[in-house]
C-alpha cells in the first residue's frame, strides 16, 4: 500500500487527496519539491507556507497559531505522533521485512554490514545518518518504497521506553543486540538499566530471529542465537587475524574477510553473516556483501593527507569503544615512523565520568604510540593521572593539536577517538 492510500483512509472527506500523489518525504522545507509530503516538526511550522509555495503535495503541521487554509495542509495535534502512526500503518500494510539493531556499541557498523550482505539478494534500505530515534525511525520507514523487501533499522535510545516505542512503530521481524556498555549512564545510572532499556526489543522479536553477542555478561543468558568468541556460542568466531588492509576470521568453520580492523568489528560482521544465513543467502553472497561493505564515515575511517594517515573513529565514544580503538590501533601500522593517539571527551557517562576517563590510563600506558594528545574538559581527568608520561600532552583547542601534528615532519598515522560532540574530525586539515 502507498502512503497516499493510508491518508485517504484517514481523511475520506479531504477532496485533494483524490488527485495528488506523494513522490517524496521530507522534514526540511529546503528539500521540498513537487510531490513532497512535508512534516513540519517544531521549527518546521514556520515554513509551512514556504513548503506549499514550493509545490509540496501535502504538508502536516501542529501549530495552533497558524491559520493555514490551503487545501494541501493537514493539521494535527502532534506532527511527530502523526508521523509515527502513519509509519506504523505503512509498515503493516506492506510485506517488507524489518531488521532492528540496537546495543551500546557497533550499531551503525553492524547496520552497514547487514545492509551490504542482504542487498546481495534483496531490495534493501537502511537508516541513513543519525535517523535512529523517535523521529528518524518513522521518517526512514516512510522513505521506503512498498516494493522494498528488507528495511534495516538502527535503534538508538537514552532512556527507558524508547526502544519499546521504536519497536512498536517498526514491528521488527529480526533483532540484533550488539552489546551492553556504558553509553547513556548519565540517564540510566547503571549497565543493568542499559540492559533493561535495550532489552525492550526482545518482546517484539521471536528468540529464533534474535541475534546477540553471547560473550556479553548481560546478554549471554537470554534466549536467542548467540555469536562470539566463547565456546558456548551458537556461532563461534575463531582464527581472527588482521593487517593494515582489514581483518579475516572464521565463523562456523567458514572463512570471511572484512575491509575494516578490530576484533569488535569482526563481531559486527558475524551478526551480518548469521542473519544472512537465517534469511537464506548463500555463502558466496554473504562473502561478497562483507567485502563490498561501505561504512558510514567516522568508523575507523582512513583518510590520507600527504604524509599523514588519519584513522577517524570519532563518531562516538565510551570506555569500551575507546579501549577497543586503542588496542586495535596498537596492533596496526607499526611499520610507519610515528603513531599518534588523539582522544576527546567521552560524554554522557554520568556521575562516574571522571573515574571512567582516568581508567583509560590502563590502556594508554601499554600503547606503542609516540604521542598521545588529549582534548576536552573531561579529558583533564585522564591528564591528571598521565601527565608524567612524556608522550602525553593536553590541549585546550583543536587548532593547537592540528599544528602539533603538522609540526611532526615524519610519516605519521593518527587515531582520532572521542564522542560526537567533540568533533575531532575538525583536527584534519
Q: What is the pLDDT of residues 187-232, one digit of tens each?
A: 888 999 999 999 999 999 999 999 999 999 999 999 999 999 999 9
Mean pLDDT of 346-351: 91
- The partner residues of 228 in beta bridges, in order of sequence, read 236
Report the percent of the chain where pLDDT is more than 70. 100
Nearest CA to 115 among 141, 81, 149?
149
Instruction: Quickly list H helices, 319-360.
Output: 319-331, 353-359
The whole-chain average pLDDT of the chain stands at 94
The pLDDT assigned to 336 comes to 67
The predicted-structure confidence for 62-110, as pLDDT tens digits, reads as follows 998 887 889 999 999 999 999 999 999 999 999 999 999 999 999 999 9
Note every long-range contact of 141-145, with CB atoms under 8 Å and residues 24 or more positions apart, other chains counting.
141/87, 141/90, 141/91, 141/169, 141/170, 142/3, 142/25, 142/37, 142/83, 142/86, 142/87, 142/90, 143/25, 144/96
Q: Domains (ranges, CATH) in the chain?
A: 3-76 (3.40.1390.10), 84-291 (3.40.1190.10), 301-427 (3.90.190.20)
The pLDDT assigned to 333 comes to 85
In terms of C-beta density within 10 A (0-12 exposed, 13-18 middle, 19 or more buried), how is residue 388 classed? exposed
Torsion of CA 265, 377, 414, 291, to 10 degrees: 20
The predicted-structure confidence for 384-394, as pLDDT tens digits, reads as follows 999 999 999 99
- Reported as a pLDDT band with limits 50, 70 and 90, residue 429 is confident
- 163 pLDDT higher than 90: yes
Amino acid at each position: 500500500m502507498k502512503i497516499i492510500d493510508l491518508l485517504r483512509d484517514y481523511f475520506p472527506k479531504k477532496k485533494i487527496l483524490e488527485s495528488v500523489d506523494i513522490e517524496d518525504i521530507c522534514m526540511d522545507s529546503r528539500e521540498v519539491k513537487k510531490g513532497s509530503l512535508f512534516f513540519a516538526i517544531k521549527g518546521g511550522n514556520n515554513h509551512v507556507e514556504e513548503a506549499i509555495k514550493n509545490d509540496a503535495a501535502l504538508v502536516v503541521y501542529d501549530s495552533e497559531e497558524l491559520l493555514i487554509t490551503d487545501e494541501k495542509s493537514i493539521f494535527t495535534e502532534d506532527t511527530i505522533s502523526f508521523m509515527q502512526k502513519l509509519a506504523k500503518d505503512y509498515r503493516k500494510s506492506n510485506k517488507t521485512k524489518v531488521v532492528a539493531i540496537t546495543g551500546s556499541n557497533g550499531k551503525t557498523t553492524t547496520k552497514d554490514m547487514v545492509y551490504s550482505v542482504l542487498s546481495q539478494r534483496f531490495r534493501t534500505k537502511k537508516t541513513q545518518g543519525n535517523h535512529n530515534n523517535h523521529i528518524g525511525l518513522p521518517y526512514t520507514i516512510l522513505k521506503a518504497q512498498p516494493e522494498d523487501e528488507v528495511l534495516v533499522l538502527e535503534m538508538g535510545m537514552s532512556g527507558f521506553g524508547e526502544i519499546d516505542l521504536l519497536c512498536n512503530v517498526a514491528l521488527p521481524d529480526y533483532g540484533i543486540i550488539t552489546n551492553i556498555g556504558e553509553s547513556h549512564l548519565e540517564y540510566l545510572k547503571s549497565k543493568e538499566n542499559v540492559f533493561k532499556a535495550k532489552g525492550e526489543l526482545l518482546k517484539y522479536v521471536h528468540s529464533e530471529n534474535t541475534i546477540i553477542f553471547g560473550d556479553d555478561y548481560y546478554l549471554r543468558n537470554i534466549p536467542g542465537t548467540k555469536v562470539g568468541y566463547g565456546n558456548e556460542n551458537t556461532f563461534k568466531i575463531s582464527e581472527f587475524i588482521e593487517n593494515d588492509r582489514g581483518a579475516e576470521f572464521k565463523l562456523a568453520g567458514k572463512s570471511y574477510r572484512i575491509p575494516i580492523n578490530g576484533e569488535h568489528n569482526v563481531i559486527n560482521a558475524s551478526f551480518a553473516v548469521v542473519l544472512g544465513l537465517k534469511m537464506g543467502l548463500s555463502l558466496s553472497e554473504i562473502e561478497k556483501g562483507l567485502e563490498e561493505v561501505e561504512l558510514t564515515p567516522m568508523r575507523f575511517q582512513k583518510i590520507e593527507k600527504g604524509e599523514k594517515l588519519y584513522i577517524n573513529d570519532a563518531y562516538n565514544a565510551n570506555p569500551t569503544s575507546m579501549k577497543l580503538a586503542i588496542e586495535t590501533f596498537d596492533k596496526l601500522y607499526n611499520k610507519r615512523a610515528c603513531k599518534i593517539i588523539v582522544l576527546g571527551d567521552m560524554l554522557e557517562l554520568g556521575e562516574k565520568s571522571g573515574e571512567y576517563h582516568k581508567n583509560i590510563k590502563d590502556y594508554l600506558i601499554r600503547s606503542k604510540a609516540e604521542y598521545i594528545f588529549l582534548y576536552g574538559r573531561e579529558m583533564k581527568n585522564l591528564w591528571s593521572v598521565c601527565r608524567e608520561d612524556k608522550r602525553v600532552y593536553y590541549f585546550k583547542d583543536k587548532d593547537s593539536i592540528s599544528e602539533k601534528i603538522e609540526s611532526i615532519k615524519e610519516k605519521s598515522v593518527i587515531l582520532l577517538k572521542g564522542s560526537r560532540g567533540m568533533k575531532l574530525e575538525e583536527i584534519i586539515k
